A and B are shown apart, each in its own frame.
Chain A
Amino acid sequence: MKSLDEKILEFGHLLRKRGVNVTHSQIADALESAVLVGTGRRGFETALECTLIKDIGDYPVFEELFPRYFGAPAPDEEQAQEEALREEDAGEDAQEDEDTTPDDDDVAEDDPRYRMLLRAVQEGDYLMLHRIGKSAVDGLGTLHSRDVFRVGELLARAKRSIGWQRAWDTLCGSDPSGKGDA
């Protein structure tokens, strides 16, 4: 399985093949942006788009290649996740619903976040780990003092957002589907 930076590099190469001028500094920007935007396919797509595409005329090429390279979008799934998050903010009943949804336990296997976390742990890249941790915390949004009563739940949400469980399973070998390049 390829790491995220390899995938972004390769994607940049694909764009270049199609006549889009992508430089190394843009690839570096794209990688940093991918870490910053937190979870979610749409955020990831935007991060790549605004760093790799600089010409309005190149947008169609990006729109064509992105789903082909990173897989077709699963709009229902993403929508469901977003709705779950929104409900979570709305009230505690909704949280329970969300928590019992098995699919929401962790990010998808091909989610860049999980692979980035995995790679950072494997390579002992503390700077990257720090960034991932920060992005997970930032992803929680504005916190209020009453949130101390739901620290456990927030922590679970932060972990979920960076693909913690899946990375854990992969590293400890309890998930045969996600061996990766361990």
Chain B
Amino acid sequence: MFTSPEDIQEQFARRKFIIGLKHATVVFLALRLHRPLLVEGPAGVGKTELARVLAETTGSRFIRLQCYEGLDECKALYEWNYHKQLLRIYADHQENKTWEHIRQSIYTPEFLLDRPLLKALSQKDPVVLLIDELDKSDEEFESFLLEILSEYQISIPELGTVRAEQIPAVVLTSNNFRNFGDALKRRCIHLYIDYPDFDQELQIVRLKVPGIDERFAHRIVSFIQNLRKDRLRKAPSIAETINWAEALLELGIDEITEKVIDQTAGVFLKYREDIEKISSRELPELLD
């Protein structure tokens, strides 16, 4: 367990993950209070990565539940292995077993398919449970999840109650497609991660693209930072800054010119309208 927010910063940095003191403090508090950490912010700022690094640094098992529209308990919690149960019924029939015997035999852990939530709760070792892009799930799923996050237990009618061996560290992420209910938000410790500032992003680029020239890294980061101020349909994220820096390094380019941007804009902009928009801008104002 971490001894302080600074300790989190240090250990995360060893895994090449830069986290500001404020964010580290919030993570520290969520862990100490045993509360789920609700991480919100634009796509590509490292929300998922935060959970992964948290699992690595705490030596925990990493269990991920990806949310989507229509996600239900069967896919999130558990379901009975229907096909296997049928086979067992068939086999038992051949041996003239009684129905009572069959019924008892097919509702045993052997026929249970545990999905991420049940898996996280039944682990004996420490777990980091990532519930990714919760905003994509339905409201029904949210209330169901809230129940689990308050009780840390699951009741399976045929088997009984499964109580968590230890309270898992839960990280929920959201891109703000949908607003959550008050009850869920109150249950969680809230962390908003925005795009990094200039110094932080420069630090990340240096760390992730080791061979890059210092002065050139400055130019790349200030260019991207300026782009984010524009009203783009999809602003470049940190991952895109890194990809672009790597691409330029690979191409042996060490100066940002209009021609270079023409050739490589597809690396950091994902929409045609965005690319057209920046090609109409004067380059010098984006580089300052």
Contact = CB atoms under 8 A, between A and B. Distances in A.
Interface stretch (A50-58, A67-75, A112-120, A170-178): A50-58
- Range of interface residues on chain B? 20 to 34
A15 to B, nearest CB: 13
Contacts of B4: 38, 138-139, 141
B35 A46 contact: no
B192 A59 contact: yes
A141 B6 contact: yes
Contacts of B38: 54
A75 to B, nearest CB: 14
Contact of A142 (B3, B40, B188, B189): B3
Contact of B29 (A23, A25, A33, A142): A33
Given A51-B189, A54-B38, A56-B192, 14 more contacts: A23-B186, A29-B33, A33-B32, A33-B33, A37-B28, A38-B4, A43-B5, A46-B25, A46-B26, A50-B25, A53-B190, A54-B185, A54-B190, A138-B3
B39 to A, nearest CB: 11
A137 B32 CA distance: 15
Contacts of A59: 192
A42 B26 CA distance: 12
B7 to A, nearest CB: 6
Contacts of B26: 46, 50
Contacts of B7: 141-142
A4 B7 CA distance: 26
Greatest chain A CB density within 10 A among B28, B35, B38 is at B28
A26 interface: yes
Contacts, number: 60
B192 A47 contact: no
B21 interface: yes
Contacts of A43: 5, 25
Interface string A5-39: 00000000000000001010110010011001110
Given A46-B26, A50-B29, A51-B29, A29 B6 contact: no
A166 to B, nearest CB: 22
A42 B22 CA distance: 8
Contacts of A26: 186
Given A29-B35, A47-B29, A50-B190, A37 B182 contact: no
B29 A37 contact: yes
Contact of B188 (A23, A46, A54): A54
B191 interface: yes
